């Protein structure tokens, strides 16, 4: 074997070792990311299991709607009546003008859909897709431990860099032997 060929073979062995070691050490995290990613991709086609369908309100015209403050009060009261022992901290308000609906999403993976015009509660929902998204991006640890987003930043950095490393080493594991055969 010629000297450049030995160097190429050694480089490919090193790349294979990096690829294998990274894969073995991050196997569980890649498994979680892949399963939750699949679930998130299918959430709108899960027949309401992962993500509830947005209900239709009575009017799509904002001039007919109650104020956001009034709708918020209705949502908080409905949440309290449905789950009196839970604390409901509002996370976001999702206005669906084309559906005539306002979604109030709370930080405990719970939501309420309200008719924007009448204020009628259309749906109480468990926000399973929000929970899955939090598992997928690692922010579930921040949620559970109250670590203010630093775990998600670390987790997504590690997983993003690992995916980049897998892409590069995977390419070399495919291309390197072809290159060696061509240079015989």
User: What does each C-alpha distance from 131 to 19, 30, 78, 91, 108 come to in angstroms?
Assistant: 31, 18, 21, 13, 9
* Mean pLDDT on 42-53: 94
What tens digit of pLDDT does each residue of 121-165 get? 999 999 999 999 999 999 999 989 999 999 999 999 999 999 999
Q: Cα(179)–Cα(184) distance, rounded to whole angstroms?
A: 9
Count of CB atoms situated within 10 Å of the CB of 102: 25
pLDDT band at residue 176 using 50, 70 and 90 as cut-offs: confident
pLDDT band at residue 9 using 50, 70 and 90 as cut-offs: confident
What's the confidence (pLDDT) of residue 86? 85
What tens digit of pLDDT does each residue of 60-110 get? 999 999 999 999 999 999 999 998 888 889 999 999 999 999 999 998 899
88 closest CA partner among 102, 67, 104, 69: 104
What's the confidence (pLDDT) of residue 180? 76
Minimum mean pLDDT among 41-50, 132-141, 170-179: which range? 170-179
pTM recorded for the entire structure: 0.81
| pLDDT at 1 > cutoff 70 | no
Helix axes 150-182, 3-25, angle to 10 degrees: 150
What's the confidence (pLDDT) of residue 157? 96
pLDDT band at residue 2 using 50, 70 and 90 as cut-offs: low
What's the confidence (pLDDT) of residue 151? 95
Residue ranges covered by each domain of the chain: 1-51+148-184, 52-126
Q: What share of the chain is helix, strand, coil (3-state, %, to 5)?
A: 60, 15, 25
What's the confidence (pLDDT) of residue 177? 83
What's the CATH number for 52-126? 3.10.450
160 closest CA partner among 42, 33, 21: 33
């Amino acid at each position: 074997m010629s000297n450049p060929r030995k160097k190429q073979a050694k480089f490919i062995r090193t790349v294979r070792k990096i690829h294998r070691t990274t894969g073995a050490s991050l196997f569980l995290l890649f498994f979680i990311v892949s399963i939750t990613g699949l679930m998130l991709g299918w959430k709108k086609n899960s027949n309401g299991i992962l993500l509830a369908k947005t209900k239709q309100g009575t009017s799509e015209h904002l001039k007919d709607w109650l104020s956001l403050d009034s709708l918020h009060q209705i949502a908080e009261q409905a949440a309290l009546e449905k789950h009196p022992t839970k604390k409901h901290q509002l996370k976001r308000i999702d206005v669906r003008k084309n559906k005539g609906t306002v979604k109030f999403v709370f930080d405990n993976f719970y939501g309420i859909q309200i008719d924007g015009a009448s204020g009628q509660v259309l749906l109480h929902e468990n926000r399973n897709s929000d929970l899955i998204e939090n598992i997928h991006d690692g922010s579930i640890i921040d949620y559970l431990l109250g670590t203010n987003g630093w775990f998600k930043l670390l987790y997504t950095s590690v997983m993003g860099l690992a995916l980049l490393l897998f892409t590069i080493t995977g390419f070399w594991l495919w291309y390197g032997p072809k290159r060696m055969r061509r240079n015989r």
